[in-house]
Amino acid sequence: MLHRLIRLIRQHHQPLIAISIIGLVYGGVIVLRSTRAFVQFELRTYDAMLRQRGNLRPDPYVVIVAIGEDDIQRQKRWPWSDRMFGQMVTQISQGKPAAIGIDKYLDLIQPPEDPKGRQILVSAIAKAQNVVNVSFVAVQPGERSVLPPADLSQISAFGFANIVTDEGSVVRRANLVGDGASLAYALADQFLRSRGQEGLVFDPETVTLRAGRQIIPRLTPTFGGYQDEDASGYQIMINYRGRAGFFPVVSAADLLEGKVDSQVFRDRLVLIGSTAVSVKDNYPTPLSTGAEVTYGVEIHGHIASQLIHAALEDQPFITVVANWAEWLWILCWSTLGGMTAFRLRQPAMNLAALLLLAAVLCLFVYNQFLSGLWLPLISPLVGLVVANVMTVAYLLSLEQAERKILMGLFSRHVSKELVSIIWSSRQKFLEDGRIQGQDVYVTVLFTDMRNFSTAAEAQAPNETMNWLNHYLSLIADEILRHGGMVDKYIGDAVMAVFGVLSPTARPQSSSEMPVMPSARL
């Protein structure tokens, strides 16, 4: 039984080693993935797919009242006073919007010497009854929370305006629920309830958040391309609807000067916030190119819009498969890479197949992303390529070793052409110890020596082989010297490859040989 097993292993050692290489590559990819080696590459790929998808259709629900650099210059002050924010809320409310969000901390009276301005703001918010103001929750050492002021907390909702950033300050995800609700969550909930919808439903017992019929997928530390990420709170991936400037924008200065028709706000979610570079409330996003940034008020608009579209139109969120399924996904592509190299020994065919598989992988991942499923791309791509390259390297080293063995065995006694034929049938030869018969053109040299048998029996084998090698070398020199023509034959017709020469034997003279026709070698 053991002998059979050993023979079986010897006969199938190549595929077994190929499988071992695949397992080694797969294990290495999983280890590297768990150490966050691929995180930035996966996130850059995520960004590229989001940019490739491009903008979605225009959003009919969100409009932004932007306080830009031009607006600040026209009003000749920053920060704007409570009186000015009160006037904007009053103007917007005349258009009967679904919800109003103010992305500006109003915890301090601005300016302190104008208490009547604060009263105008409080009165406008109380009359609107659908305003959401912002707070800030300190999460890092040295930060200071901005709490809702007492005069506004009694008449309006509040949501925290914290922005979650990845390395490079890129905003890809949002925290909807932490110590309270986020600004986008509160606005989307207010918007849906204004339309007679159920609104957003958070269940603290099961820690699930529902928008319409959908359970919003919550980020985990190993969500998609992330590994060992801080996923505190209820975080989601932001499915940006478009690049910076995607939402309809109304100038805040125009609004204060009465140049805006309030009907533009009807039944919409209205966000008031800064889009001035000097205020420094801007971030790069996956859709950013070059120095392009998206302002905080726009980011809150994208998050709220995503929740609204999910509840009203069942738009899917960006989700992922289970962690074990991602591991299986990587294993499948690593196996494909190794098996492709093992089956296609021709370098050109293997390279073409590898490029085709890589293209199929990229297209499949992108197609699934368009449906809202984020599959890892870099880790399976690395497994595919590395398994293929390592298998090719193993097969090349094995081929060189086998060729060296065969050339050593045959190159001294047969022509290069015959060695090539033997090499092309090496697999059969190495497995069975013999070569299958086939029709080939060969040249055979026969030579005779007098008293061959007697001489061979009288000396040791190594001595006779030395004489034979010397004898064949002389013949080879003679053939080369006469341009490949031999008109003389020596001896009694014993095959040179299997004969030996006695130290006392001598070649027959040409006068003792029969005349033979010429033979071209």
Vertex 438 angle, CA 437 and 440, to 5°:
135
SS3 66: strand
Rounded Cα distance between 221 and 212, Å, is 26
Rounded Cα distance between 276 and 218, Å, is 33
Q: What is the DSSP letter of 515?
A: P
Indicate left, alpha or beta for 67 from its phi (over 0: left) and psi (-120 to 50: alpha). beta
Instruction: List Cβ neighbours of 74 (8 Å cut-off, separation of 6 or more).
Output: 253
Compute the chain's Rg from CA coordinates: 41
At 420 the pLDDT is 67
- Flag whether pLDDT at 385 surpasses 70: yes
Mean pLDDT computed over 90-107: 96
Instruction: List Cβ neighbours of 307 (8 Å cut-off, separation of 6 or more).
Output: 176, 184, 185, 188, 200, 211, 216
Q: Which helix (H) or strand (E) holds 20?
A: helix 13-34
Indicate left, alpha or beta for 344 from its phi (over 0: left) and psi (-120 to 50: alpha). beta
Rounded Cα distance between 118 and 84, Å, is 10
Q: What is the mean pLDDT of the chain?
A: 84
- Flag whether pLDDT at 512 surpasses 70: no
pLDDT tens figures, 2-61:
556 555 555 556 778 888 899 999 999 999 999 999 999 999 999 999 999 988 889 999
- pTM equals 0.77
Rounded Cα distance between 41 and 36, Å, is 10
pLDDT band per the 50, 70, 90 thresholds, residue 463: confident
Taking CA atoms, 330 is separated from 16, 58, 192, 351, 360, in Å, by: 20, 37, 41, 20, 14
CA dihedral 80, 81, 82, 88 (to 10 degrees): -50
Least confident of 77-81, 246-250, 343-347: 343-347
pLDDT tens figures, 200-219:
999 888 889 999 889 999 99
Least confident of 101-115, 150-164, 445-459, 501-515: 501-515
Q: Which of 454, 435, 346, 342 is nearest to 390 (CA)?
A: 342
CA dihedral 300, 306, 308, 312 (to 10 degrees): 170
Rounded Cα distance between 481 and 513, Å, is 21
